[in-house]
Amino acid sequence: MLSVVYLLVYLTAGVGMVRLLLPRFRMIGRIYLGLCLGLLLCMWLPAVMAFPFGFTAAGHLAALGLLALAGGGCWLVRDRRPAREWDGGDQSLLMTVLMIALPLTALSVYLECTHTIAPRPDGLHCGQSTYGDLNLHLAIITSLRNARFPADYNIFPGELLAYPFLSDSLSTSMMLFGMGLRSAVIFPSAVMLFLAFSGYCLLSGRIAERTSGARLAVLLFFLNGGLGFLYAFDMIGVSLGTDSMNQLQSGTGFAQRLGNMLNGYYTAPTNHAEQAYYNLRWSNIICDMFIPQRTTLGGYCMVIPCLYLVCDTMVPPRVGKSEDPECLAGTGNMLRRTVLMGVMGGALPMIHTHSFAALAMISLGWMSYDLVFCAVEKRPVSGRLIPWAVYGATAALLALPQLFVWTFGQMKGSDHFISFHFNWVNNSGSYGLRDGYLWFYVKNIGLPFVFFILSLFERSPRRRFLAAGAMVAFLCAEVIQFQPNEYDNNKIFYIWYMFAAVLAADYAVALFEKLRGLRSGAVIAGMCVIVFFASAVITVGRECVSDYRLFGTEDAEAARYIEENTGEHDVFMTWTQHINPVSSLAGRTIVCGPDLWLWYHGFTTWERQNEIRGFYADPEENRGILEKYAVGYIFVSSYERSELSVDTEGLEAVADKVFESSRGEIAIYRVKAGK
């Protein structure tokens, strides 16, 4: 209960701060921006106070003092105009949130509950999409309890935790005030999910030309899929595959093929596992991004309000009006807006670096569009340049320390990062295009991509302004690979798609209005709905029924023993399996985690892997490794026995067995003093 109260204090404070700074902003927008600001402060202020206090309960209480100072500062610089009252526009946006954001939140929270170490008689279960990444986030969450800052990776000690950790540390905060691990993952996720869904409802409502277009855009964005479902109908009378190859076309009837998609491992028509065969790479945002990737969820939850503010505040006069036109007339009003934009944008790098990069790209595109047209129309550029400069300088002031302390240091020490690479995953390894350039996007994104392209031919300053920013992000993600995993560029593509979906939806609605006089108009609209959403519906259905055992009962038993009988910062020797109760459930440090994560974070692990392999094979001969990594405990499970040659007698010579699970699958040894 204390953890919920702690978060509510921040959310309430955020709403109050935005009320002081932006009273003339639409009421529903103020409440939304305030909740986002409060959540952002709940991520950041405890992390700031962790440098002197550690990530402890005491540090969190000290962070409340910073929150009070921030609130006092907002009161001193407050906008004294009366608050804007609720109106018809608020009512329309609220209806969109209730009709779309709430059901999407309910669906996603259900997936969180089934996909996050769900207790079953045989252990702890997850879903398909969380089987790979969940354990990394659990390891960060559990290991940050009472950790010194800046913290190290608990799966690669000695190396700074440069992975954006603030979405995970929010769950750690919940645990420090008494919430269990499973609830600490699900509860903040539910808050972030609601803010992401409702925020995009407000963003699309702000920039779309029609209310119906805004609502369609929300569905196109979150229920994204593409044309992959059509493979299930291709030559349906002939089985073209098997259970392990070409599964989308395995079976001679649609029911059989649908069964394959709903029961196989990544066999749904989005992000299909047979990438070399189908080249389907457009993941569903809910199932493959929000549920398994907490950093992406936290990043999008925070980048949407930034885009909302920037788009509204910096919209050129020729394009449209701000929700608060008076902010352009008063220097103080504009300054409050631009500084708030900069603060929220500058806080992004350690929440989600890709979101920060995409925000910078889109802002650069909008600024260029704005200033170029000022020059073309022979109007003073300085009046538009100064707000952009204040916004950019504020964001840079906050972002650069994060980038230098964490991000750039990790990139500098690795050859895995920035490289030039044309056409994303359609040109994997730069060996040539698998699909034709445009066909790749038509196949993966579907009709929304076609409608987006067609919308750009219309004479609409609003559309061109939105596209000017969004296309900068698209083009950068097309030619620059930002991370070792080329697929991770999708995190930038989806932010481009936030705007592409609105333009496509507006165009689709306008097209339908012109077809209303046709008797076949309803049929055409129905066919479009099927093409829009069929792949996403199948993918979501697959996640709803997916169920995998992640940890067995003996894993949970061992994790409980470790938490109750070892120190929070003790180091364990284990093998590098990604399903590891030591690092994920108990939060203890291990000598080396899996390449599944570490290689993509820029680390080379072969030296430590060889040392671990050598130690288990001959503990007495390699006991120096224990001292090298300050190992206090040795973990032996079915993974170590199957992957390594384990010398049990040698282990007993250097360590005492202190735990054996109920069925004998897991043993824990404590290193003998002086050994």
* pLDDT band (50, 70, 90) for residue 409: confident
The answer to whether the pTM exceeds 0.85 is: yes
Q: Which domain holds residue 618?
A: 550-671
Instruction: Examine the pLDDT at 205 and tell me if it is beyond 90.
Output: yes
Burial grade of 472 (CB within 10 A; 0-12, 13-18, 19 or more): buried
Q: What is the pLDDT of residue 384?
A: 83
DSSP string of 85-119?
PP-HHHHHHHHHIIIIIHHHHHHHHHHHHHHS-EE
pLDDT tens digit string along 25-64? 999 999 999 999 999 999 999 999 999 999 999 999 999 9
Beta carbons within 8 Å of 386's beta carbon, 6+ residues apart? none
Instruction: Examine the pLDDT at 327 and tell me if it is beyond 90.
Output: no
User: Cα separation of 510 and 451, whole Å?
Assistant: 11
Please count the CA atoms within 13 angstroms of the CA of 158 that sit on its side-chain side. 12
Mean pLDDT, to the nearest integer, of 139-153?
Answer: 95
pLDDT tens digit string along 610-664? 999 999 999 999 999 999 999 999 999 999 999 999 999 999 999 999 999 999 9
Q: Is residue 256 part of a domain?
A: no
Helix (H) or strand (E) holding 295: helix 294-313
Q: Is residue 577 part of a domain?
A: yes
Please count the CA atoms within 13 angstroms of the CA of 349 that sit on its side-chain side. 19
Instruction: Output the average pLDDT for the chain.
Output: 92
Helix (H) or strand (E) holding 305: helix 294-313
Strands ordered across the beta sheet of 548-552: 118-120, 123-126, 548-552
Instruction: Examine the pLDDT at 413 and tell me if it is beyond 60.
Output: no
Instruction: Examine the pLDDT at 379 and tell me if it is beyond 80.
Output: no
Q: Is residue 628 part of a domain?
A: yes
Q: What is the pLDDT of residue 482?
A: 85
Closest CA to 197 of 32, 310, 342: 32
Domain stops at, among 413, 429, 456 = 413
Q: Is residue 447 part of a domain?
A: no
Q: Is residue 596 part of a domain?
A: yes
- Residue 632 three-state SS: strand
Q: What is the pLDDT of residue 325?
A: 60
Q: How far is CA 27 from CA 30, 324, 597, in A?
A: 5, 12, 42
Q: Is residue 263 part of a domain?
A: no
* pLDDT band (50, 70, 90) for residue 250: confident
Closest CA to 63 of 193, 173, 197: 173
Instruction: Examine the pLDDT at 281 and tell me if it is beyond 60.
Output: yes
DSSP string of 194-239?
HHHHHHHHHHHHHH-SSHHHHHHHHHHHHT---SGGGGGGTTTTS-
Give the number of domains in the chain: 2
User: Cα separation of 607 and 566, whole Å?
Assistant: 27
Instruction: Examine the pLDDT at 328 and tell me if it is beyond 60.
Output: no
Q: What is the pLDDT of residue 674?
A: 65
Q: What is the pLDDT of residue 575?
A: 97
Mean pLDDT, to the nearest integer, of 84-105?
Answer: 94
Instruction: Examine the pLDDT at 377 and tell me if it is beyond 80.
Output: no
- Residue 378 three-state SS: coil
Contact indicator for 189, 294 with CB cutoff of 8 Å: yes
**Radius of gyration (Cα) for the chain, nearest Å?**
26
Domain stops at, among 413, 428, 459 = 413
Domain stops at, among 413, 438, 467 = 413
User: Cα separation of 634 and 528, whole Å?
Assistant: 58
pLDDT tens digit string along 503-516? 999 999 999 988 88
Q: What is the pLDDT of residue 326?
A: 60
Q: Is residue 57 part of a domain?
A: yes
Q: What is the pLDDT of residue 411?
A: 64
Which residues on adjacent β-strands are paired with residue 634?
573, 669
Which residues on adjacent β-strands are paired with residue 660?
667
**∠590-593-596 over CA atoms, to 5°?**
165
User: Cα separation of 155 and 87, whole Å?
Assistant: 52
Q: Amino acid identity of 460?
A: S
Lowest-confidence segment of 239-243, 518-522, 608-612 by average pLDDT: 239-243
Q: Is residue 648 part of a domain?
A: yes
Q: What is the pLDDT of residue 247?
A: 78
What CATH number is associated with residue 657?
Answer: 3.40.50
Other beta carbons within 10 Å of 488:
16
Q: What is the pLDDT of residue 522?
A: 85
